A and B are shown apart, each in its own frame.
Chain A
Amino acid sequence: QQQVKQSPQSLIVQKGGISIINCAYENTAFDYFPWYQQFPGKGPALLIAIRPDVSEKKEGRFTISFNKSAKQFSLHIMDSQPGDSATYFCAASRRETSGSRLTFGEGTQLTVNP
């Protein structure tokens, strides 16, 4: 119930292409869905996040699409650049009475070729 499933495990895209990473969850109590970007030797950094009351959120080249009925959400990176090469994690959290925690997907290693 607490798991978040992420795919693909790795992704290779040409510069200028669209990168798409998908996640699925089971727990309908989740109410916050962030995406984190992690470069080697660094900690995860928040990229973009969405709440289930909207179906899409766009920030620059990054877009989250959210399908509440299917319990799925995805990250689209438009005009992918070599600098976008990193590991991407989807995550989910739910409102708890006392604290909070992020449940992460397994991660997707994105490589953007020049």
Chain B
Amino acid sequence: DSGVTQTPKHLITATGQRVTLRCSPRSGDLSVYWYQQSLDQGLQFLIHYYNGEERAKGNILERFSAQQFPDLHSELNLSSLELGDSALYFCASSVGVSSGNTIYFGEGSWLTVV
């Protein structure tokens, strides 16, 4: 158990809908990351938050948004969902912000868009 908690574990929704994925980082970790894993794209970095502030942005679609709250939990909002958004979404956390900090992954949220 990495200590990173993600909910829900599985989610099935229809195209055009909006969903929110939730993440609680490991105790003491200030950084939260979101990654998307799909068969065709592999593991792709989406976004990094540190202590409530956005620090780095990757291949995140404009239909997706994220935030980190004062209690350090994070939410990834996915809207106007398309079939191609079906994927496993991982949250990860680390103590600091810099390269080299061990990044711990949660078990992921499986999103299926039908």
Contacts and interface: CB of A to CB of B under 8 A. Distances in A.
Contacts of A45: 2, 104-105
B4 A32 contact: no
A32 B99 contact: yes
Nearest to B9: A41
B4 A43 contact: yes
A98 B99 CA distance: 10
A32 B105 CA distance: 17
Interface residues of B, number: 29
B55 A94 contact: no
A73 interface: no
B104 A46 contact: yes
Tell me what chain A mostly uses at the interface: helix, strand, loop, or mixed.
loop
A93 B99 contact: yes
Interface string A19-33: 000000000000110
A59 interface: no
Interface in A85-114: 89, 93-96, 98-107
Interface string A35-68: 0100001111110010100000000000000000
A101 B56 contact: yes
B102 interface: yes
Given A43-B90, A96-B56, A89 B43 contact: yes
B56 A51 contact: no
Closest 8 CB pairs of A and B: A99-B55, A99-B56, A43-B105, A104-B43, A101-B45, A99-B48, A93-B99, A95-B99
Given A46-B103, A93-B99, A98-B97, 20 more contacts: A31-B99, A32-B100, A41-B107, A43-B2, A46-B102, A46-B104, A51-B100, A94-B99, A95-B99, A99-B55, A99-B97, A100-B55, A101-B58, A102-B33, A102-B43, A102-B45, A103-B45, A104-B42, A104-B44, A106-B42
